[in-house]
């Protein structure tokens, strides 16, 4: 016998309720998915971009370390620092960390920025190895596919020479299309110490053991 009078207790959802709930849940899930997807995508792109900045930083540190040991060897071709007109090639002499006899040893370093590739050559090869190093032994590739532009510039300030290094890291998100820049200026520790010394005189080839021969005392 069917219950009479008021309606019996509801034991399930009505179709209308289910439809509304499914619709609401779908909307929430769709929104969540979209937000989470774009969020995780921007985080991973950010991490990739950060990796570019980190690599550029490593390269910049390498260049700074070389420039801090820069020296000028007067009277030798290529004995003084040189930057080509495009600002993409920097050539200079630097002290070796291993002196030869009682003289400091110097050798030539060439940084070349070609498109997105930066190479560093020591003459003779000084065996500098970098994390993630590749390329041949004499001209290791400092980094590749990491920069949009690398520029070297020399300027004098208060009578002293400084080398400005600018590196551009591309925006991999492609949203802004802009470049993230890293830049600093470095001066040679040795050069500045000498010029601060009132008894300083320009040092000629005879003071160095250069890579071009010149072994022994002249």
Partner 1 sequence: MLRTARPAGFSLVEVVLAVFLVGLAVIPIFTTLGQASRGTVDLENEALAVGLATEALEWVKGVGFAGWSQALEDGGRAMKLPAALQADRSGGRLSWSEPRVVAFKSDEPGTDVDYPESSIPFAREVVMTFVRAPGSEVQALHAVATVRWKLNVRGNPERRVAMELMLHGVRP
Residues that bind partner 1 (CB under 8 A): 3-13, 17, 20-21, 24-25, 28, 32, 35-36, 39-40, 42-43, 46-47, 49-50, 53, 56-57, 60, 64, 153-160, 162, 164, 166, 168-169, 178-187, 189, 192, 196
Query: Minimal distance in Å, beta carbon 13 to partner 1?
Result: 5
> Cα–Cα distance between 123 and 110 in angstroms, integer?
8
Nearer to partner 1, 77 or 176 (CB): 176
In a 3-state reduction of DSSP, which class is residue 26? helix
Nearer to partner 1, 22 or 137 (CB): 22
Query: Minimal distance in Å, beta carbon 124 to partner 1?
Result: 29
Query: Minimal distance in Å, beta carbon 132 to partner 1?
Result: 18
CA neighbor of 118 nearest in space, from 179, 162, 167, 74:
167
Nearer to partner 1, 67 or 73 (CB): 67
> Cα–Cα distance between 128 and 94 in angstroms, integer?
13
Q: Which residues pair with 100 in a beta bridge?
A: 103
CA neighbor of 159 nearest in space, from 131, 192, 205, 127:
192
Nearer to partner 1, 97 or 176 (CB): 176
Residue 30 structure tokens: 């769709």
Residue 71 structure tokens: 């020296």
Query: Minimal distance in Å, beta carbon 101 to partner 1?
Result: 30
CA neighbor of 72 nearest in space, from 91, 99, 98, 97:
91
Nearer to partner 1, 49 or 205 (CB): 49
Query: Minimal distance in Å, beta carbon 161 to partner 1?
Result: 9
Query: Minimal distance in Å, beta carbon 206 to partner 1?
Result: 27
Task: Please check whether residue 112 is in contact with residue 118, taking contact to mean a CB–CB distance below 8 angstroms.
Answer: yes
Pairing verdict, β 117-123 and 106-114? antiparallel
Nearer to partner 1, 50 or 202 (CB): 50
In a 3-state reduction of DSSP, which class is residue 8? coil
Task: Please check whether residue 140 is in contact with residue 122, taking contact to mean a CB–CB distance below 8 angstroms.
Answer: no
């Amino acid at each position: 016998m069917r219950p009479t009078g008021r309606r019996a207790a509801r034991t399930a959802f009505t179709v209308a309720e289910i439809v509304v709930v499914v619709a609401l849940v779908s909307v929430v899930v769709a929104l969540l998915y979209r937000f989470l997807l774009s969020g995780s995508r921007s985080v991973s792109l950010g991490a990739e971009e950060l990796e570019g900045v980190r690599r550029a930083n490593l390269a910049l540190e390498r260049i700074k370390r070389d420039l801090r040991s820069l020296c000028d060897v007067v009277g030798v071709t290529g004995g003084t620092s040189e930057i080509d007109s495009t600002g993409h090639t920097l050539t200079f002499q630097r002290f070796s960390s291993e002196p030869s006899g009682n003289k400091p040893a110097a050798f030539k370093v060439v940084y070349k920025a070609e498109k997105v590739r930066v190479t560093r050559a020591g003459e003779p090869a000084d065996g500098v190895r970098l994390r993630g190093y590749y390329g041949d032994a004499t001209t290791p590739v400092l980094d590749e596919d990491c920069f949009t532009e690398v520029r070297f510039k020399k300027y004098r300030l208060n009578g002293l020479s400084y080398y400005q290094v600018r590196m551009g890291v591309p925006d991999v998100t492609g949203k802004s299309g802009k470049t993230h820049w890293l830049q600093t200026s470095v001066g040679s520790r040795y050069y500045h110490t000498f010029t601060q010394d009132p008894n300083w005189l320009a040092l000629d080839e005879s003071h160095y053991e250069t890579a071009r021969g010149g072994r022994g005392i002249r």
